[in-house]
Amino acid sequence: MIDIWPSPAKLNLFLYINNRRSDGYHNVQTIFQFLDYGDLLQIKINNSGNIELTTQFNDIPKENNLIIKAANLLKKTAKNILPLNAGAIIHINKKLPIGSGLGGGSSNAATILVALNYLWKIRLTINELAKLSLQLGADIPIFIYGLASFAQGKGEKIIPINFKEKWYLITYPNIKISTKEVFNYSNLTRNTKHRSLHTLLNLPFTNDCENIVRSNFNKVDEIINLLMKYAPTRLTGTGSCVFSEFDNKKNAYDTLNLLPKYATGFIAKGINISPLRQVLLMNNLLRN
C-alpha cells in the first residue's frame, strides 16, 4: 500500500494567449514540464465516510480547496462502487507556495484523484481520470498524465513532448498572484498568433503574462532584471515565481546565493516524466 504520494511542480516553458473564449476561458499555447520537486501527500483511507484534510490553509475555505473537491468528485463518480462509509485522512507536506504559478493546487487535485482511485480500488483509467478532472480545472489533466507536453485550447489539448531536462533556479518573491487576477487585467496580451509547435520551438520562449505581472509587481520585475544577468529567466504560468535555466546544477546553486533577502528559492531539475507517473510505473498501476 502506498501512503506517500508526490505532487510535483510544473513550469510553463512558454505561454501564449491566443484569444478569449465565449465560455470565459482563454485559448493558450504552452509547454508544461515537471520539476523533481513538489508537495508530498500522505493519504490514509478509512471507514469514516468523511474526507478530512489535516493541513490548514488559512487563505482557502475548505469548500473551495481543490483537494477536498477532487476527493468528493471521485467519491460521487464512483458511488455505485464505493461503500457509503469510504473516507480518507489527507495530510500535505506543503512546499509549493499558493499563487506562485507552479501549479500546486492543480497538482494536489491530480494526485488525490490518482491516489484515491488506487486506494479505494475504483480502477478508473488514466484517460477517465483526466476527463473527470476537467470538472475541476483545465490544467489538471497534465498532472494526471504526468508527461511533459505541448498544450493548447484551455490547456486540455495535450501532445506529449520530450524536452531537454535542464536545471532551474526557481525564485519566489513571497507574493501571491492568482490566475483570475492576472486575466482580469484589461491590458493583458490576448491576441498572440496561433502558431505550430515547430514554429514555436524555433522562436525565443516568452510568457504573455510576464509584462503585466512585472508592471504591477515591482519585486517580480526586480528579480527578473537581476537574474537575467546570469541566465535566461522568465515568469512561469500566471503566478509570481520566476525560473532561470542552467545546463548544470553548480551554476544554479551559485546564482541562488545572489537572491535578495525578500525572496526565497530552490534548485530543481526539469523532468519529462513526473514523479507521480514514476510511482505508478514502478508499482505497475498505470492503466490507460
The domain spans of the chain are 4-162+273-282, 167-271
Rounded Cα distance between 238 and 209, Å, is 6
pLDDT band at 46 (very low <50, low <70, confident <90, very high): very high
35 has binding-site annotation: no
* pLDDT exceeds 90 at position 58: no
Contacts of 211-218 with CB under 8 Å at 24 or more apart are 212/182, 212/185, 212/187, 212/188, 213/177, 213/182, 213/238, 213/240, 216/185, 217/173, 217/175, 217/177
6 has binding-site annotation: no
Q: Which residues are catalytic?
A: 10, 139
Fold of 4-162+273-282: Ribosomal Protein S5; domain 2 (3.30.230)
Cβ neighbors of 118 (< 8 A, separation 6 or more) are: 2, 285
User: Which pLDDT belongs to residue 287?
Assistant: 79
CA 19 vs CA 109, 192, 216: distances in Å: 27, 8, 22
Range 83-91 average pLDDT: 94
Range 22-46 average pLDDT: 96
Range 205-220 average pLDDT: 97
User: Which pLDDT belongs to residue 286?
Assistant: 86
Range 137-166 average pLDDT: 95
Torsion (CA) 5, 11, 15, 19 in degrees, nearest 10: 20
* pLDDT exceeds 80 at position 143: yes
38 has binding-site annotation: no
Residue where the block lists cell 545546463:
247
DSSP code for 258: T
| pLDDT one-digit tens code per residue, 270-288 | 999 999 999 999 998 887 7
Q: Are the beta carbons of 189 and 238 closer than 8 angstroms? A: no
User: Which pLDDT belongs to residue 288?
Assistant: 76
User: Which pLDDT belongs to residue 239?
Assistant: 94
99 has binding-site annotation: yes
* pLDDT exceeds 80 at position 133: yes
* pLDDT exceeds 80 at position 155: yes
pTM: 0.95
Rounded Cα distance between 132 and 147, Å, is 18
Question: 167-271: which CATH architecture?
Answer: 2-Layer Sandwich (3.30)
Neighbours of 227 (CB within 10 A): 22
| pLDDT one-digit tens code per residue, 221-269 | 999 999 999 999 999 999 999 999 999 999 999 999 999 999 999 999 9
* pLDDT exceeds 80 at position 59: no
DSSP code for 273: B
Query: What is the rounded average pLDDT for all residues in the chain?
Result: 95
CA 245 vs CA 189, 205, 231, 242: distances in Å: 24, 12, 6, 10
119 has binding-site annotation: no
Q: Are the beta carbons of 36 and 269 closer than 8 angstroms? A: yes
